Structure 1
Amino acid sequence: MISCGGNSLTDRQNTDIWELIQAFDRDRRPDLLDRKYSKMRKNALAFFRGSCHLFYRDLPKESSLNLAPPVWICGDLHLENFGAYKGEDRQIYFGINDFDESILAPCTWDVVRLVVSTLLAIDSLPFDRADGERLAQIYLTSYANTLSAGNISAIVEANARGIVANLLADLRRRKRSDLLDERTILNKERRQLKFDNEKILAISQERFKLVKEVIDNWAQTQAEPDFFKVLDIGFRVAGTGSLGLDRYIVLVAGKGSPDRNYLLDFKQQVISALQPYSIGNQPEWQHPAKRVMKVQQLVQLSPPALLAAIEFDDRSYLLRELQPTQDKIEIEPELISLEQMENLIDIMAEITAFTHLHGSGKLGAASAQALIDFGQNLDWQQQVLDYAVNYVSQVRLDFEYFCQASIDR
């Protein structure tokens, strides 16, 4: 496993990675940035997850990867940005669960980022380099085949397989009270958030009143405003790349206390990290949360439940039903075999292709036929793999440089 410290560093064309990361994060909460950087020091994959902007900064402007059909991409696609979520139709889906960086871009941008994350994951798993490249090729082949077929679908329990099928079956059996019990405490039949100074932090009364007022005002525009009656609010600490931005967990009345309350995620959205490197024209969005919400509506068969974009305090926020972190597949050495990993990668490739196809022909995206034709052309697959293999070496060097600089600061 590659970890912080111990390796000699080479100069990265006189570019200070630590300065670039600090500049990107300059408007975020300092105390949460300490947590973000601690997470990023875990391994090269964690560093890659937390530094999406570096990946696109490094992507050559003249790369053949930029010639692929434009689609609505996730933008920050990696192994850990897939998970289960409950859709508007209340069915549980397994799919891409983070569109913060979404933008109109060549479909290969999502593909190559996922392949890089796969090769980096091998550092922490009991597999070798050949296994990593095999997994990458499985992803590329499955993505191309799914595009070529041109069929748009989604992964649900009925068609899932392997560990994804097991995950969705477990979630179907989970009671709402189980989820609530993990994050709340009961006080005379009324639930309150469980502040643990780790995942849920207390907020000031002033901030509580402000966020509550925003939710209350928005609720009045909904068909059932009483559903969104606020019971408690805390600051939510989750993810890696977005740590340091405003994010709240909101407990609302839902369908009744104490066991039919709902938990909402209320997350600040900012301009996509890909925006400076975008190719072609982008739609003009009212604010970043509108972009994220609209892209999810464009590319997902059923977007997450209770999805809404809200602007206040000169910022924009995405509201949605809380997606627990345990609703993801744990890619840990003791928990996943090579066979399971192959199955998972195959499913992720299908999901990526479904997502790109579902958004085809919408707001400037290439047509479905253009994507079908692209899937049938095999030339780009080796180009993606070659670039990913070479770039992994750069990420590992950047990771070691970051570890040394962030610890010595």
Structure 2
Amino acid sequence: MTLTDKQSAAPDARIVRGRAARTAVPAAAHAEFPGPVRRADPLRLLARQDRDRVPELLPLRYGRMAASPLAYFRGAALPAAADLALTPRTGFPVQACGDAQLANFGLFAAQGRRLVFDFADFDETLPAPWEWDVKRLAASFEVTGRQNEHPAGQRRRTVLAAVESYRLAMHDFARRTPLDIYFAQADARTMRVVASHRLGPVKRRVAGVRRFTEIRDGQLRLAARPPSVVPAGRLAGDGDPATLTDRLGAVFARYRRTLGPARRALLDRYRLADVARTVPGPGGAGTRCWVALLVRTGTGDPLFLQLKEARPSVLQEYTGAAVPGGPGRRVVTGQRLIQATGDVFLGWARAAGFDGPVGEFHVRRLRDDQDAGDVTTMTPDVLRAHARLCGWTLARAHARTGDPLAIAAYLGSGPAFAEAVREFAVACADQNERDHAALRQAIRAGHVTAVSGS
């Protein structure tokens, strides 16, 4: 997204805008969560998403979402967007993540094996109000705290830690230059607390290769883990696997053209060895998603790329934002804007006649060294450190793409905004439990088909 005249105005004018917005939309207004009369039926919204998904994967989607209130929350990005659209807006757009819940952040190794913390998912990214991301993030910590059976007081501290971290970071970024914001790094001490909950980078990398692959007929191939991972040759109805591989090769050729010369040269050092259909997390289950195994010519070193179907963002109908170039390019552009550590293999492709009708895919490296961590095993202290990192990372993304000075002026110097968002998070978590119960009831009544699976 490009800077508007208001975002590039004199600092005093931007501060005045922020304070004026606080008068028009007081901090306390953000405690509001829409009541049942105003809300759209979440099950109908979810069913609407199913219309052009892979039919045989839909029962797996609902089986995953029914597993727990947290699993439901993660899969219900569209109902969340519908709820957020009914809440007050301050008028300061940013490149929003669109689904800024805690599981969409993670640790991974950057160049030189340096450990970084950043966004890990960008399917819903779109220009949107900054406060939507903050509220979705806060609610995810309240839902997770309940899942982990943390006491109410601990949950309160965790949610406030996420929002206050965002507020303090935004005030810091408001004083910095754009270059300072671009290269800002998270607090190392907090990173160590979160990293201590996970395996070391080298162990993660080895475990990742073993998780993705197996040796078949003396060759490295993608391991079959049905229903989540099914090699192309084992998919019913695809006919000759070689035909599917040829079609995938054509998609790769289109994807390759979206890379710069240096990245194309890097990609060309690998050859396509195997491909499998995969099922992503609760929100993406049912969409068309593939993992490609490429191996380095001469050595056999593996490279994993994910081809994931790109659809219109769940925020689009509620913001009216239009992004040129199609959904695949939207995801790639948004990722480049808000993720501090880039992916050299990031690109997109339009796929005509591959895996169904004409569709859009975004392509990225499927990192075998990435670890989002199991948030359901985090102690209150670790979850709170995770909350601070997420809040800071979200603020950096918003400061890079929005007006940090105006947002900081709106947030003010006290805890009023954080307290209001905490009330929103509690109300949202309460409603999430009722929505999860409604889904389970619909499954028991036979209105929704669900199967369990990994």
Please report the TM-score for the alignment, with normalisation by the length of structure 1: 0.85
**Corresponding position of 1:241:** 283
**Alignment length (residue pairs):** 385
2:440 maps to which of 400, 403, 408:
403
Distance 1:34 1:325 in 2: 30
Check conservation: 1:112, 1:384, Cα contact below 8 A.
yes
Secondary structure of 1:101's counterpart equals coil
Q: Distance in 2 between matches of 1:226 and 1:158?
A: 36
- Give SS of 2:268's match: helix
Contact 1:72 1:356 in 2 (8 A): yes
Q: Is 2:127 aligned against 1:104?
A: yes
Instruction: Summarize the Cα distance change of 1:353–1:56 in structure 2 as closer, same or farther, 3 Å threshold.
Output: same
Alignment of 1:128 onto 2:167: no
Residue 51 of structure 1: aligned partner: 76
Match of 1:195 among 224, 233, 237: 224
Residue 50 of structure 1 aligns with an amino acid whose one-letter code is G
> By how many angstroms is 1:135 displaced?
0.9
Cα deviation for residue 291 of structure 1 reads 0.8
Report deviation, 1:175: 7.6
Counterparts of 1:256 and 1:343, CA distance in 2? 44
Q: Which residue of 346, 359, 363 corresponds with 1:315?
A: 359
Q: Deviations over 1:112-138 (max 9, x none)?
A: 011111111122213122221221111
1:267 to 296, 308, 326: 308
C-alpha contact (below 8 Å) 1:143/1:375 kept by paired residues: no
Please state how far the C-alpha of 1:188 moved relative to its aligned partner: 6.3
Partner of 2:374: 330
Match for 1:75 among 49, 74, 98? Answer: 98
Candidates 215, 240, 246, aligned match of 1:186: 215
1:168–1:337 distance in 2 versus 1, CA, 3 Å? closer
Question: CA shift at 1:388, angstroms?
Answer: 2.3
Aligned to 2:408: 372
**C-alpha separation between the residues in 1 aligned to 2:192 and 2:115?**
16
Partner of 1:41: 66
Give 1:387's match in structure 2, choosing from 424, 445, 452.
424
Q: Are 1:18 and 2:60 an aligned pair?
A: no
Q: Secondary structure at the match of 1:232?
A: strand
Judge which range, 42-51 or 184-193, deviates more. 184-193
Provide the residue aligned with 1:6 in structure 2. Answer: none
The answer for the alignment partner of 2:5 in structure 1 is: none
The one-letter amino acid paired with 1:185 is E
Q: Which runs of 5+ in 2 are unaligned?
A: 1-34, 233-237, 353-357, 447-454
Any gaps of 5 or more consecutive residues in structure 1?
A: 1-10, 361-366
Tell me how far apart the structure 2 counterparts of residues 168 and 340 of structure 1 sit (CA, whole Å): 11
TM-score with structure 2 setting the length: 0.77
Measure the CA separation in 1 of the matches of 2:254 and 2:84: 43
Query: Contact 2:204–2:369 (CA<8 Å) still a contact in 1?
Result: no
* Misfit runs of 4+, over 6 Å: none
Partner of 1:116: 139
Distance of aligned partners of 1:292 and 1:357 in 2 relative to their CA distance in 1, 3 Å threshold: same
Match of 1:226 in 2: 268
- The residue identity in structure 2 corresponding to 1:386 is E
Describe the superposition over 1:281-317 as per-residue Cα deviations: whole angstroms up to 9, x where unpaired: x343211111111111112222223111111122111
CA contact (8 A) 1:68 1:108 kept: no
Distance in 2 between residues matched to 1:337 and 1:161, nearest whole Å:
15
Cα distance between partner residues in 2 of 1:274 and 1:185: 39
| Rounded Cα–Cα distance in structure 2 between residues aligned with 1:188 and 1:257 | 17
Match of 1:295 among 312, 334, 346: 334
Check the 8 A contact 1:310/1:317 in 2, yes or no: yes
Letter in 2 for 1:321: R
Q: Is the 8 A contact 1:76 1:102 kept in 2?
A: yes
Report the residue type matching 2:224 in the other structure: F
CA spacing shift, 1:46–1:137, aligned 2, 3 Å = same
Q: Which amino acid aligns with 2:419?
A: Q
Q: CA RMSD in A?
A: 2.7
Q: State the Cα deviation string for residues 343-372 of structure 1 (Å, max 9, x = none).
A: 111111111111111223xxxxxx232233
Amino acid at match of 2:319: S
What one-letter code is carried by the residue in structure 2 that aligns with 1:98? D
Is the 8 Å Cα contact of residues 193 and 382 (structure 2) preserved in structure 1? yes
> Any conservation in 2 of the 1:219–1:228 contact (CA below 8 Å)?
no
> CA deviation digits over 1:129-149, x for unaligned, max 9?
222122111111111000000
Task: Give the AA of the match of 1:249.
Answer: V
